[in-house]
Amino acid sequence: MTSSPIVAITEPAAGVALVTMQDRIHKNAFTDALIAELTRAFAALGTRADLKTVVLTGYDNYFSSGGTQEGLRDLFDGKFVFTDRDLYSVALNCPIPVIAAMQGHGIGGGFVMGLFADIVILARESVYTANFMRYGFTPGMGSTFIVPEKLGIALAGEMMLSAANYRGEELQRRGVPFAVLPRDQVLMHALELARSLAQKPRMSLVALKDHLAAPLRQKLPAFIEQEVALHALTFQQPEVRERIETLFGQ
């Protein structure tokens, strides 16, 4: 299987593809290169008749750190909208089940991308945040849909409004419906689940995923449209540009 320096693709078991984001320079931020490689990987893997599941993970203590500072500047300047770079729905639209082994920090869009997987596993030590409002603009990438859908409306509202950081162990105490394990056990658990899925007929897996994902796929576009409209409103504030320049990476 073809890999790139920032996205490694291996097959640790029959029927299982492991996609590892490993852009250490940018901490798996959404650079143009990472977006292109991940999109290409999922497009290719989804057509493989011999594959039954995909595991998506990061490296060391990073799953994905979300948008880059340059990307946020471009959003502020109106050079693109987040729908131009649709990374958020690659897991949702993959025909076979996707397991997000979020062993490392999931920041902003990086956290949201993981939540679009069919099965999510978090690490007790890692930080997860929907931190869009930290910079003064409203959440995008389908956050206002998938975060409440997966975490519940109360916790999701708190996360998005406060833009606070949450350790996996705190989210576990708050009742998130995911496995939350020590970091060094996350990928191992994900691969065990993947091997279990790979024992099932591919046609049945595809049919069931399509059935389970159908309501999400149907509802998501309306939320995306609303988020784009909110971005057009909230990105226009000078305070947003100032926050992007002064708070990014802190």
CA distances from 116 to 32, 74, 78, 179 (A): 20, 25, 26, 15
- Let me know if 26 is a catalytic residue: no
Would you please indicate which residues are annotated as catalytic (active-site) residues?
231
